[in-house]
Amino acid sequence: MSDHALDPVRPARARRAGVRWRHAAWRQYRLERRMFWRNPSAAFFNFLLPLIFLALFGAIFAEQEANLQVIVPGIAGMAVMSTTFSALAMNLTYLRESGVLKRIHGTPLPTSAYLAGIAGNAVTNTAIQVALITVAGTAVFGLEWPHDWLALAVFVALGVVCFAALGVALSHVIPNFDSAPAYVNAAFLPVLFISGVFYDDEEAPAFLGAIAEVLPLKHLIDGLSGAMVTGEGLADHAPALLVLALWAAAGAVLAVRGFSWDARRR
Amino acid sequence: MTAGVAIEVEDLHKQYGDHAAVRGISFRVERGEVFGLLGPNGAGKTTTVEILEGYRARTRGRVAVLGMDPGPRPPALRERIGIVLQSSGLYRHLTVREAVGHWAGLYRAPRDVDETIALIGLEAAAGQRTRTLSGGQQRRLDFALALVGDPELVFLDEPTTGFDPAARRQAWETVRSLRDLGKTVLLTTHYLDEAQALADRVAIVKDGAILAEGAPGDLGSAASRYRVAWRDAAGTLHERETAEPTALLHELTGAALARGEALLDLSVTQPSLEDVYLELTAEPETVA
């Protein structure tokens, strides 16, 4: 700090570098958004699929408010995981194997600005989906508006960080793009089924419950359920926050450590 | 053209486990020069170039690219080099102009986007999505993305492999226009005619080492052997190699005249780059 006071050039340079970084990240983010909308099938799966799930389960559980109160936060949790974990694992595998990552790595674009742009794109999808599901839950299924907006925001944010990091980490073990859907679904679907997305997890067998208890999705859904339905706030879900934070930390370490810009040699 | 050294490589080594991919390569590329690394597949060309580009770490040796060590990938270096990789993916849902425009934004002082598209001859496809481009057009887009940052030094790793002859000629024209713009180019190729047509100087690489280096024309004469060939009266072909063609011809013609015969189809040739290349890169005969 004292160095900077003696040298007025350096803070100015650092500030310019900061402006350039934000500019680069913002440009990358806008590019990712544009490409997202240009790929209609990706856009479809991202937004329509959770709404279709919601509509189907809404029809099955019509008039059963207790079940609807399980399914809406459950689908919201699923949306957080699919927009970050699944989407990033698939996208990064594609970008790495097709050589886009390597090409970008040869330009002056700062790595962190690039990753911020990609992550921002995933977060935007999460935010849109959670908003759609919240609105649909209230407007179509007659649930009340979420009771605790702060808790909702905190759990969505922590869920995003956790599942984004795990998605990046998963991409490191996927050997090629053809096998990416298999890897992603092998992780995504079982977690989805045991974490109480489609039913109240109190009704599941104990051993499945025990597995779900150590995985992050159940805790995310518990937190979302508290925020959206029961009105339990952050203080009531401290253990859930802790489990999510631990997974986020582990995911972040694995995401950074195994990162490769280059396609796997086959 | 600016004088000085663009690339300096001294005793470069790269080891992958037990395999030595590069074994003590040294060369210099002057600014404004088109330098070719010529050699068969697996010779260590790409490994060498990717070390210079900052993609790979070297095992040992000294490397300077535009006066900088590419190892830590300094941003100031990435700002001034352009890279055409052997193969690399594109954003499939962007148009050509959008892709070049986005890449231009990654550099501080880029070239004009439309001018760059014109330079590589993709004007007609500028509004097309990149996934609809032909192989040759995609390669030209690779060139455009590498050039739009207005780099001083351009790396071209096997830029025409898999091209049809017309597409190769077009790529060659682009490389020549780079030279005309005063750019330094480091080119790898396993096509002899490509090295001959484009490079000011060529290094022949095999098994991770440089076997010969020089201007394509000099590499042939550097062997300084001449091949003298003729047919005798019976029609049998004779060939002699010599460093002193004048003396040999005097001897041969003198003897023929004395016998009252002619030396049919008499020719004196210097080995071409191709002869040198094939001789240097030939697999040693296995001893039975």
> pLDDT-based confidence at A246, cuts 50/70/90?
very high
pTM for the whole structure: 0.83
Segment B111-126 shows an average pLDDT of 93
Closest Cα in chain B to A261: B55
Residues of B within 8 A of A97 (CB-CB) are 89
Angle at A157 between CA A151 and CA A160, to 5 degrees: 140
Q: B24 CA to chain A: closest CA distance, Å?
A: 24
ipTM value of the model? 0.83
Question: Given an 8 Å threshold on Cβ–Cβ distance, is B106 in contact with A35?
Answer: no
Encode pLDDT of B132-175 as tens digits. 998 888 988 999 999 999 999 999 999 988 788 888 888 899 89
- Let me know: does A141 contact A51? Beta carbons within 8 Å: no
pLDDT of residue B189: 93
User: Does any CB of chain B come closer than 8 Å to the CB of residue A142?
Assistant: no
Closest Cα in chain B to A262: B55
Q: B57 CA to chain A: closest CA distance, Å?
A: 13
Segment A237-256 shows an average pLDDT of 93
- pLDDT of residue A61 exceeding 50, the answer is yes
- Let me know: does B257 contact B251? Beta carbons within 8 Å: no
Residue B41 C-alpha from the chain's centroid: 13
Residue B183 C-alpha from the chain's centroid: 15
Residues of B within 8 A of A91 (CB-CB) are none
Nearest to A106 among B78, B90, B105 (CB): B78
- pLDDT of residue B2 exceeding 70, the answer is no
Which parts of B120-164 fold into alpha helices (H)? 135-147
The residue that leads in pLDDT, B286 or B68, is B68
Nearest to B85 among A38, A97, A103 (CB): A103
Structural domain of A98: 2-257
What DSSP letter does each residue of B191-208 carry, written as one string?
-HHHHHHH-SEEEEEETT
Best interface-test mutation with B: which of A23, A31, A91, A103 has the largest number of B CBs within 10 A? A103
Encode pLDDT of A183-235 as tens digits. 999 999 999 888 877 777 677 788 888 888 899 999 999 999 999 888 888 88
Q: B55 CA to chain A: closest CA distance, Å?
A: 8
Nearest to B79 among A108, A261, A262 (CB): A108
- pLDDT of residue A57 exceeding 70, the answer is yes
Average pLDDT, whole number, for chain B?
89
Closest Cα in chain B to A109: B106
CA nearest to B102, candidates A259, A40, A177, A117: A117
Cα–Cα distances (Å) from B258 to B31, B234, B262, in that order, read 57, 17, 10
Tell me, yes or no, whether A265 lies in a domain.
no
Tell me, yes or no, whether A25 lies in a domain.
yes
Closest Cα in chain B to A111: B75
Residues of A within 8 A of B91 (CB-CB) are 31, 35, 100
Question: Given an 8 Å threshold on Cβ–Cβ distance, is A99 in contact with B75?
Answer: no
Question: Given an 8 Å threshold on Cβ–Cβ distance, is B90 in contact with A106?
Answer: no
Tell me, yes or no, whether A263 lies in a domain.
no
Closest Cα in chain B to A103: B88
What strands, in cross-sheet order, belong to the sheet with B264-269?
B237-242, B226-231, B264-269
Q: Which amino acid is at B57?
A: A
> pLDDT-based confidence at B109, cuts 50/70/90?
very high
- pLDDT of residue A3 exceeding 70, the answer is no
Structure tokens at B59: 């095992």
pLDDT of residue A203: 74
Question: Given an 8 Å threshold on Cβ–Cβ distance, is B55 in contact with A38?
Answer: no
Residues B5, A45: Cα–Cα separation, whole Å = 53
Q: B3 CA to chain A: closest CA distance, Å?
A: 25
- pLDDT of residue B102 exceeding 90, the answer is yes
Nearest to B91 among A35, A110, A261 (CB): A35
Query: For chain B, which residues make up each domain, given as ranges?
Result: 5-219, 226-269
Residues of A within 8 A of B89 (CB-CB) are 95, 97-100, 103
Nearest to B93 among A39, A102, A110 (CB): A39
Structure tokens at A132: 């759609």
Task: Report domain B5-219's class.
Answer: alpha beta
List the beta bridge partners of residue B153. B81, B184
Lowest mean pLDDT among A90-94, A135-139, A251-255: A135-139
Closest Cα in chain A to B74: A108
Question: Given an 8 Å threshold on Cβ–Cβ distance, is A103 in contact with B54?
Answer: no
> pLDDT-based confidence at B233, cuts 50/70/90?
confident
Q: Phi and psi of B58, rounded to 5°?
A: -90, 155
pLDDT of residue B221: 60
Question: Which residues have a Cβ under 8 Å from the Cβ of A140 and sit 6 or more positions away?
Answer: A54, A55, A58
CA nearest to A119, candidates A149, A67, A83, A145: A83
Q: A237 CA to chain B: closest CA distance, Å?
A: 42
Encode pLDDT of B87-100 as tens digits. 888 898 999 999 99
Encode pLDDT of B242-259 as tens digits. 888 888 899 989 988 898
Encode pLDDT of B19-40 as tens digits. 999 999 999 999 999 999 999 8
Question: Given an 8 Å threshold on Cβ–Cβ distance, is A27 in contact with B102?
Answer: yes
User: Does any CB of chain B come closer than 8 Å to the CB of residue A31?
Assistant: yes
Residues A82, A88: Cα–Cα separation, whole Å = 9
- pLDDT of residue A2 exceeding 60, the answer is no
User: Does any CB of chain B come closer than 8 Å to the CB of residue A109?
Assistant: yes
User: Does any CB of chain B come closer than 8 Å to the CB of residue A24?
Assistant: yes
Residues of A within 8 A of B53 (CB-CB) are 106
For chain A, the residue count is: 266
User: Does any CB of chain B come closer than 8 Å to the CB of residue A43?
Assistant: no
Structure tokens at B142: 């690779």
- Let me know: does B173 contact B151? Beta carbons within 8 Å: no
CA nearest to A201, candidates A183, A189, A190, A213: A213
Binding-site residues on chain B for chain A (CB distance < 8 A): 53-55, 75, 78-79, 81, 83, 85, 87-91, 93-94, 98, 102-103, 105-108, 145, 149
Tally the domains of chain A.
1
User: Does any CB of chain B come closer than 8 Å to the CB of residue A110?
Assistant: yes
Residues of A within 8 A of B90 (CB-CB) are 98, 100
User: Does any CB of chain B come closer than 8 Å to the CB of residue A264?
Assistant: no
- Let me know: does A3 contact A10? Beta carbons within 8 Å: yes
